[in-house]
Every structure is written in C-alpha cells, then in structure tokens.
Amino acid sequence: MVPRMDAPVSAPRLHPLNQGFAWQDAPREGLRCLTLAQVDQFNADGFFVYRSAFTPDELAAVTAAIDPLEQATVDYANSKPGGRFRLTVTESISFTIHIAGQSPVLAAFAQHPVVRDICHDLIRSPVRLYWDQSVYKKTERPREFPWHQDNGYTFVEPQQYLTLWIPLVDVDETNGCPWIAPGLHRLGTLDHWQAEAGRVCLEQAEDAVAAPAKAGDIVVFSSLAPHRTGPNLSDAVRKAYILQYAPEGAHVRLPDGSVVTQDDPQRQFRILDGQ
C-alpha cells in the first residue's frame, strides 16, 4: 500500500467541501436492464459487475479506436523527463482522456443501449457523459494504483455520479482488476492526500472486495466508492476504458466556491433525455 505522508492513520475523514451529504438510494422501480439484486448491491456496497454487456466485435472496434490515441499519450510522456506526464508513467500505466470527443466509434459506444439503460436505472434522466479515459497498465514496471474515489480528484456536485469501468481484456487479481471498499460510498467524498502514484483516501481497506471481470463485462460503481487496482503481473497489457456519467446540471466546485458547469458539447454530450 502507498503510505500516507502528511496525515495520521485514522478513520476516513470527509472532504472539506463535503457538507451535509446524504446518500440517495437508486430507485428499485421502473428498471430497464438491472435486477433488484444489482440495484440493492449498488446501494449497499457501491458497486456490482454487469455481465456480458458487449460483443467481441464491439470491444475490438473500441480497442482499435483507443490504441493509437493511447500511443500518442505514451509518445508525449516519453518526451518528458522520466517518461512521465501527469499520472502517465510510460512503463507502468497510461491515462488517455477525453477520447470520446475524438472518435466517432467511441462517441457511439458511450451511448450504447446497455450504457443508456444502466444510466437510466441508477441515475434516471437526463444524463450526460462527464468524463472518459482509457487506462492501460503495462508490464515493464508493475505497480498498484492507490485507494481513491473518482470524486476525490475533482469535486463534482452532485457528488453521486456513475463510473462504468469496462475491461477490454479479461481482468483479475493478477493483472489489475478493481478492488472496492464496500459501504464507504455512503459517507460522500472523503479527504484525499497526494502520493507519488496519485491521490489517496485510504491506506488500507480490510474488507476490500476484488471485482474480476471478463472482456465485455462492466464493473459498475459509484463515483464515491473507494477503489484501487493492483499491479499488472501478467505478460500482456491490461486495457480498460472508463466512462463516467452525471446528471444534467452537474458542476465542478472549486476551492474558492465558484462552479464550472460540465456540459462541453464535444466531450460531455447528453446520452439520455426523457424518463
């Protein structure tokens, strides 16, 4: 685990902007594709795995669209000292962001019928794509990506939005599948501190649950679910595409109290209109 450098070991602390948060359960009626058990697990644990959402041909097209964009990210990082740019470390992990706005294939995939139905069932409508990125874990220098919440990087309101973590290859504990700390999502956004590999909200989670998944599955979790991924100890790149969705009107709250609406028409387009 990544050691905390600037705070003592203790129970999780709340983010300073997390004032008066109350978790809102996803509704159990009017479901399009989810089961009651999946909705209940999402409400209680903050995640579930949705099986067989996409065909091999759909994933092949997505991978073919992402690979050259990811390579451009790696090439750019390689031009920087130590082969590092932001969170990308070329021999360890790459983050390629806002790519749905660069590819008609990825823009269409971000509005896939299964994606729309999951967003309907857990967010209701209207819904916009908030963020998308590929995350490729390399084999040369394996390392974990530490415990964090997605809302711990940029404070979004409402704090509850949705992450669809889509493996483009089979993932398990050997190559960097997600691990979730169940139940903590109900506290809202936690305080995070900066470590070498990224922002961190927990040093450890004794009740952590691994979420292995096959290519074509979706690991569905709340923006507030603390999660980590372990090192890629396999001999092949672990490829994932992450799509995040938020209700219409979602905005980023900055430390000075100002807000920035998240409605860029190219990369934060609406995927769901009416009920």
Which domains, from first to last, does the chain contain? 41-272 (2.60.120.620)
CA-CA distance, 70 to 267, in Å (whole number)? 17
Residue 225 and residue 37 in contact, taking contact as beta carbons nearer than 8 Å: no
Per residue in 123-159, is it b (16+ CB within 10 Å) or e — as a string?
A: beeebbbbbbbbbbbbbeebbbbbbbbbbbeebbbeb
In degrees and rounded to multiples of 5, residue 35 shows phi and psi of -90, 165
Q: Which candidate, 227, 233, 197, 190, places its Cα nearest to that of 211?
A: 227
pTM attached to this predicted model: 0.94
Q: What are phi and psi of 124, to 5 degrees?
A: 70, -155
The tens-digit pLDDT sequence of the chain (275 residues) is 333 334 334 578 999 999 999 999 999 999 999 999 999 999 999 999 999 999 999 999 999 999 999 999 999 999 999 888 988 999 899 999 999 999 999 999 999 999 999 999 999 989 999 999 999 999 988 889 999 999 999 999 999 999 999 999 999 999 999 999 999 999 999 999 999 888 999 999 999 999 999 999 999 999 999 999 999 999 999 999 999 999 999 999 998 889 999 999 999 999 999 66
Cβ distance 163 to 246 under 8 Å? no
Determine the residue type at 152.
G
